[in-house]
Amino acid sequence: MRKKSQSLFDDDLHFESEVRVNWGKLLEDNLKKWQGGSQHIRGIGEYITNADDSYRRLKKFSDQEIFVEIYSERKKGRKIDKLVIRDKAEGMSKTDLENKFFVYFESHSGRVQGQNVTGQFGTGGKAYAIMNFKECYITSVKNGKKNKAWFKWDGKQKKIVKSYTEKGFVNEMTDEPNGTIIELFDTQNKINLVEFVFKLNQLPRIRHVVKSQKVLVTLHQGKLGPQTLQLEYEAPKKFAKEWVFPLPDKLKNKNQKENEFRLLYFEKPLESESYIDLSDGISTVADLDIAKYDDRPYSKYLYGELTLIKLQNSAAVKENRKGLEEGNDLTIEIEEFIKNKVNSAINEIQDMHRQKEREKNIETTNEKIRELNKFLKKCDLNFNVEISNILKKSKEGKLSETNIPEMGEKGEGFDHGVEGETVNGEWNAGDGDSGANTGGESKFRPEDKGKESAVKDANKTLSPHKPQNRKRGLIVLMTDDPHSPVSPDEYGVFEDPVIDRFLKSDGIILINANNPIIAKTRVSKLYQYIFNERVANYVLLVVAQYMATTELEMHPDGDKPDPMILFKQKYFKLQSDLRQDKDIDFYEDRID
């Protein structure tokens, strides 16, 4: 049995001992993160930012040239045979190469000393080079001395090796200006080289460089001449609305001019440009997909810009600026703020569009209602006149005699006079229409029991011609009328007293002569006033229903009035108009 003293006072519990680490394996695992054809864009971006950092240390923050040259032996293809990145900045001596360039996981960019540069980890560009290219060279000129070295990854020894021998040299005298050239040979690439350049132009990592410096990319393919493109970046323009949200105290910058989150709304989806450009005041840290914070459709219509100086040297930023570290306290604070403001903006956009849609629907509805009113006023449903005629005829037992000759029929004209064949009928006041037999003044309708007379005028005989393009008013017929579109026997005693199936197509309302309500009040003079009022009200019901249905169809879904209320409004309005018509009296024939 183990003694208690032995378990408490063993020597290895009281003395520090080194934990063994396979540094070669650890280094290789970190370098492999840069391996693969998909890393080319990001790797070139690292060298572009390194060149910009060199200019920044010289206080040259704009209009400096950075050159990228891509060579491919094939006219069309993806393989990169040679990649060159060069600048005309400060350059490096042999000592600088040894103590700055050939150091991994340790930055000598000047960022720690407070300089506005992006270099932070001292690894990206070199790791990309040795993990993807067969040969890697760096040539640098500083103060009249030129040095060239090669470097590579030794997979067997699990370490990075370099040398100034073979194709390299040390401290050659030169008249060349200061600057650095990176030459990388022979690698595989997964995308077309033209698309390659386009993707490089869209890389967030170099956005701050592209905005201020001149980054020139030259593509050499086969025997084609060189094609040079200057990388450019422009934020989306012509926005429809802008929000400027002040930063909360926990995120405020010392520079008061940048204490705002700017969000822009565009009238069309931005697709790949719908993001928030998050910067630490030196360069872009991440492009934050707005849909991540609010996935409603209008998130694709937004673009934002946010600068947070607190992100400089912060653990909230992923290595090589690949975004924000999830779970970091500062990340949580940033994302909660962004989510709240994006949500607020999209709510406002939706309200704005709902209001516009309501206004548009109301205007459309009003326009249709105005057209409907014009339609009614122009006698498309001129029921007052037709009902007046119906009631007048019903008093004389002539409800069926409603036929009006169409213009264009061969017939005889009539005139006032004392000589000639006299015909009984009625003269009606003219409507201003200069018809063949009216002269625009009045027209005569022959009727056997008419109280007036006219003389046939052969000179005014109607001649056949094309019918005028005129709209008829509402026509009310009995089903036993010879001009009814249906047979009198088609509708029996159990059918409705009023039939509206021909209303929309022909403007005809039929009164069912076989319905007991109609038949009973129609046969006797005693019930004539009841018949008159019933026919009028039946017509009003059908017209009101037609008007209400038509208006309901004009209203957008979700904004329709109550159908019954609308129908009642239409019906009582029509009934009121009819009762106020001085030419119509329902009760003038009433027998007490």
Buried b (16+ CB within 10 A) or exposed e, 119-145: bbbbbbbbbbbbbbbeebbbbbbbeeb
Place 11 in a pLDDT band, splitting at 50, 70 and 90: low
Residue 122 above 60 pLDDT? no
Q: For the ranges 210-214, 462-466, 511-515, which has the lowest average pLDDT?
A: 462-466
Residue-averaged pLDDT of the chain: 77
Q: Kindly report the CATH class assigned to 23-230.
A: alpha beta
- Average pLDDT on 524-535 reads 72
Three-state SS at 130: helix
Q: Which segment of 164-178, 187-201, 365-379, 458-472 scores lowest on mean pLDDT?
A: 458-472
Q: Which two structure tokens, joined as six digits, stand for 114?
A: 């407070």
Q: 375 phi and psi, to 5 degrees?
A: -60, -45
Are 219 and 112 spatial neighbours (Cβ–Cβ below 8 Å)? no
Tell me which DSSP letter residue 317 carries: B
Question: Sorting pLDDT into bands at 50, 70 and 90, what band is 15?
Answer: low
The average pLDDT across 207-217 equals 90
169/301 Cα distance (integer angstroms): 55
Higher pLDDT: 571 or 136? It is: 136
What pLDDT score does 525 carry?
A: 66
Task: Give 537-556 pLDDT, tens digit per residue.
Answer: 788 888 888 888 888 877 77
Contact criterion met (CB below 8 Å) for 427 and 435 = no
Q: Which of the four pLDDT bands, split at 50, 70 and 90, describes residue 168? A: very high
Question: For residue range 262-303, what is the model confidence (pLDDT) as tens digits?
Answer: 999 999 998 778 999 998 887 788 889 999 999 999 999 999
- Sign of the C-alpha dihedral, residues 439, 441, 447, 448? negative
What's the pLDDT at 332?
93
* pLDDT for 93 beyond 90: yes
CA dist 254 and 516 (Å) reads: 93
Write down the pLDDT at residue 437.
39
* H or E segment and range at residue 542: helix 528-554
pLDDT at position 404 is 38
> 447 burial class (0-12, 13-18, 19+ CB within 10 angstroms)?
middle
Question: Six-digit token pair at 193?
Answer: 């080289």
Residue 149's φ and ψ, nearest 5 degrees, are -140, 155
Query: What is the structure's pLDDT at 119?
Result: 44
Record the pTM: 0.54
Q: Report pLDDT for 202.
A: 84
Examine the pLDDT at 463 and tell me if it is beyond 60: no
Angle of the 40-57 helix axis to the 193-201 helix axis, nearest 10: 50
Q: Read out DSSP for 208-230?
A: HHHHHSEEEEEEEETTSPPEEEE
What one-character DSSP code corresponds to residue 324?
Answer: B
Task: Convert the pLDDT of each residue in 306-338 to its tens digit.
Answer: 999 888 878 888 865 667 888 899 999 999 999
- The domain limits of the chain are 23-230, 241-344, 379-405+470-592, 407-466
Q: Cα–Cα distance between 146 and 166 in angstroms, integer?
A: 16
- What mean pLDDT is predicted for residues 479-502? 80
- Quote the percentage of the chain above a pLDDT of 90: 26
pLDDT for res 335: 94
In whole angstroms, what separates CA 146 from the centre of its chain?
A: 57
